[in-house]
Amino acid sequence: MRGIVLKDKVLMEMVGLQNFLNRSIFGFVFFAMCFAVPQRTLAREGMWIPATLASREANMKLEGLTIPVKDIYNEDGTGLNNAIVLFGRGCTGELISGKGLLLTNHHCGYGSAQRLSSTDKDYFSYGYWAMKPEEELPCQGLTVTFIRKMADVTDRVLKGLPDTLNDKTRDSIAMKRITAIEEEYRKQSGYDATVKPFYQSNQYWVILSETFSDIRLVGFPPNGIGKFGGDAENWVWPRHTGDFSIFRVYAGAGNKPANYDKANKPYESGRFFHINTSGVKEGDFTMVYGFPGTTDEYAYSGRLRQVTGIIDPIAIQARTIRLDVWNKHAAADRAVFLKYTAKNAGIANGWKKWKGELEGLELNKVMDKKIAYEKKFQKWADKQTDLPFANDLLNQFKNETGGVDTLMYMDMYNRETVMGIELVQQSALLDKALGCLRLPLSDSALADTLKKLVAGADGFYKNYDLPTDKDEFTALMTLYAAHMKGKMPVALEAIYKSFGGDIAKWADFVFAGSLAANPVLLQQLSGWKPGDSVRIQNDPAWQIWHAVSQASAEKIAPGLSRYSANLRYLNRLYLEAQMKFETEKSFYPDANLTLRLTYGKVSAMSPDKKTHYPFQTTLDDIIAVDDPQKEDFRVPEKLKDLYLKKDFGRWADNGKIPVAFIAANHTSGGNSGSPILNTRGELIGTNFDRAYEGTMSDYYFDPNRCRNISVDIRYTLFIVEKFGGAGWLLNEMEFAK
C-alpha cells in the first residue's frame, strides 16, 4: 500500500514545504539536453512525463514495447491517458469498460467502503457486490480526474528570469504568468487547467483535466481477500492480497461531470483498457501508468540525514504506540474495528513503509553514496565558470540543514504525539468557534455560523471511540513528556506539572471535561453568545491544542518556513548544476502527483543474494497460510470451497489461480491502483505495493531490490465472477485476443 497521503504529508507539514508536491522540474534548455545525450540509465528506473515519451521510444522498443508511444499518450482523445484517473486525492484508477467501470485498489476504496459500512452492513467482513446497476452505491465526496493534455510552458513562465533570482521575486513574477496561462487554457479548452512545476521548478507544464464527482461503488471484496495478510504482509513480498475494488464513473448531460443524480448515466469513454489474461513470465516487458506521489531522488545528503535521523524514527516510534492502542481496542470490539479500520490502515501503511525505507537506505549505504557523489560534484563545481553559483551550493546546504534540526525534532513530536490524539485534533473546531464568538456578528448570523460549524463534526464522531482515544492520550503524552523535557511549550508544561506529571490523571480530567468529548454537548454550542467564549478557553482539550499550536506558530513554524524557502531555492540551483555535471545521465523529474509512466520487466528477486523469491504467488500459497485464529490470515469459507472444488473457471493457469506478481518498475505512493500493462498496452494487473527491501526508492532506486507488486488481473476476475457472483460485469469488458 501505498497511497500518497502518509509519509509525504508528514514531510510537507513538518518542514512547512507547502510546495513539496510541486518540487520537480527544470529549464527547457536543460530538458532538451538531457534527452539528447546517450541514455545509460537503467530502463527500470525513472518516472517519465507521458508527453515526452517520444524521446524514449527507441529505448522502450528495445526493452520490448510493441505499440507506438502515441497510443500511450496523445492529445486527440485516443491515448491511454484518457483511460487513467487520479482516484480521490492520492491513488490511481483505470477504466476497464466503455461504460465507466473503474478498477483501483481495495485500500484506495477503503475510506469510501467505511463510510458506507455499518454493523448491519459490514462490507469489510462480507464484501459488497452490485448485481445490477441500480445497486451501485454513491460515494459521497469521492472524485476521479482524467488528464486530457499536458503542454510545456516553461518558456512562458521563466522567460527573462535569471537562475539566481531569489524565489520570492521569481515566484511573484512566475505566478502572475501562471495565472494568465491557466485562464487562457481554460477558455480555449473548456477543461480545468493547472500549471505544475517539475525538476525543482526549473520547468513548468500546464495540465488540462476533467474531474467527475458522481462515483459509485460496484465491487469490494471482504478484508479476507482485499486486505489478506494485514500489516504483517504490507510492504512485503511474497504477497497474497487481492488488493482491488471496482467503482463506476457517472456523468450528467453531454457525458460531462455532474454532481450525484439518479438520472446520471455511466460515463461513456472511447478509451479503456482491454484485458489480457494470458499471464506473465520472467522477463516480460511491463509498464505502470499512474500518479506517483512524491520522490526526492536528487536531494542533498543533509536532507537525507534529516529523514533517517529525525523524521522517520520519530514517526515510527509514535505510530507504533498508536497502532498498539487501536489494535487492542479493535480486537475487543467489532464496532471499534469498523470505526478505526480505515484510519488504522493509513497509519500502519506509513509506519511499515518508513521502517523498510530506513533499512533499505542503510543496507544500500545511500548516505555514503550521496557524500561520495557530492565530493565529485564539488571538484567539478570549483572549476566552473558558466555556473558561478555551483561551487558554494553544498556549503549553503550544509548551513541550512544543520540549523533546523532542533526545530524539526520538536515539530515532529508535536505532530506525531499531541496532535495525533483525536480529541486534541477535534479541538481545532472549538478554536474556530471561539473565533466566531469574537466576530462582530448579529445573533442570527452567529447562530447560523455556529450551527454549520457543529454540523460538520458528524463525520468525526461516526468514526470515534472515546475510550480508545483516552488510552491513546495516555500512551502518546507519556512518550511526549519523555522526549520533550525542556522543550515543551510553556503553557503546556504548566498544565502537565499541575497534575504532578500524572498523565493518567490528566487524561481523566481532559476526557471528562472537554466539550469536544461529548457530541451532545457540542451541539449546544450553536446557541452560544459571545460571553460564552470563556467556556472554550477553559476547555481542557482546547488548552492543550492552543498551547501547542501557539508555540508552534511563534517558535517553530517561522524557522521551518525560512528553511523551506531557502531549501527550495537551493534545490532548484543544485538540480540545474547536477544536470550540467552529469551530461550522460537521463534525468527524470521527481514525482509530484502528476501523470507518469515507468517501465521494467517481470523479475524475481534475491534481495540478500541468498533467499530467492519467485515472481508470482498463487491461491495455493494463500491456502497454505490460512489461519482461522488470525483475522488477517483467515481465508473466507467460500474461497476455500472454490479452491477445494477446483472451481476456477477460465482463470486458472496450469491448474493454479495466479494471485500477485512483481516487476522492476519504479513506483511510489500514488501509484496504488495503477494499471500494469504489457507490451501492447493491455491490462495484466493492478499495482498496489512495493517490496519491503525497496521502499527506499523514493530516495534511491536499486534495480536489484526495488520491485512493484501487482494483483494479477486473472485473480481479480476470478474473485469477481466466482467469489462475488458478479459475472455480469465481465460482459462489458473487452478481452485481448
Provide the residue count of the chain: 737
Inter-CA distances, 349 with 50, 103, 316, 352, 359, Å: 28, 21, 11, 6, 16
What DSSP assignment string belongs to 398-421? HHHHHTSHHHHHHHHHHHHTGGGS
Q: Which three cell numbers stand for residue 343?
A: 484510519
How far is C-alpha 584 from the chain's CA centre?
Answer: 32
- Reference 679, options 176, 284, 186; nearest CA is 284
Q: Which residues pair with 266 in a beta bridge?
A: 250
CB 72 within 8 A of CB 289: yes
Which residue among the candidates 243, 284, 465, 712 is catalytic per the annotation? 243
State how beta strands 616-618 and 658-663 pair: antiparallel
User: What does the alpha-carbon distance between residue 207 and residue 151 come to, in Å, rounded to a whole number?
Assistant: 7
Q: Is 189 a catalytic residue?
A: no
User: What does the alpha-carbon distance between residue 472 and residue 469 come to, in Å, rounded to a whole number?
Assistant: 5
Whether residue 238 is preceded by a cis peptide bond, meaning omega within 30 degrees of 0, is: yes
User: What does the alpha-carbon distance between residue 593 and residue 47 come to, in Å, rounded to a whole number?
Assistant: 11
DSSP annotation of 517 reads G
Which residue among the candidates 564, 672, 674, 710 is catalytic per the annotation? 672
User: What does the alpha-carbon distance between residue 146 and residue 189 come to, in Å, rounded to a whole number?
Assistant: 14
How far is C-alpha 520 from the chain's CA centre?
Answer: 35
Scan for cell 491544542, then name that residue.
Answer: 545
Q: Is 243 a catalytic residue?
A: yes
- Reference 664, options 595, 599, 587; nearest CA is 599
Q: Which three cell numbers stand for residue 38?
A: 546517450
User: What does the alpha-carbon distance between residue 675 and residue 658 come to, in Å, rounded to a whole number?
Assistant: 17
State how beta strands 144-152 and 137-138 pair: unpaired
How far is C-alpha 529 from the chain's CA centre?
Answer: 42
CB 205 within 8 A of CB 195: yes
Q: Which helix (H) or strand (E) holds 102?
A: strand 101-104
CB 210 within 8 A of CB 148: yes
User: What does the alpha-carbon distance between residue 481 and residue 497 come to, in Å, rounded to a whole number?
Assistant: 11
Which residue among the candidates 106, 107, 546, 666 is catalytic per the annotation? 107
Q: Which residues contact 114 (CB under 8 A, 6 or more apart)?
A: 124, 338, 341, 342, 463
Q: Which helix (H) or strand (E) holds 435?
A: helix 422-437
Scan for cell 446520471, then name that residue.
Answer: 264
State how beta strands 101-104 and 192-198 pair: unpaired
What DSSP assignment string belongs to 482-511? HH-TTTS-HHHHHHHHHTTT-HHHHHHHHH
**Under the phi-then-psi rule, with left for phi > 0, alpha for psi from -120 to 50, and beta for the rest, what region is 677?**
beta
Q: Which three cell numbers stand for residue 379?
A: 571538484
Q: Is 674 a catalytic residue?
A: no
- Reference 374, options 300, 305, 295; nearest CA is 300
CA atoms in the 13 A half-sphere facing the CB of 434: 17
Rg over CA atoms, the chain? 26
Instruction: Name the residues annotated as catalytic.
Output: 107, 243, 672
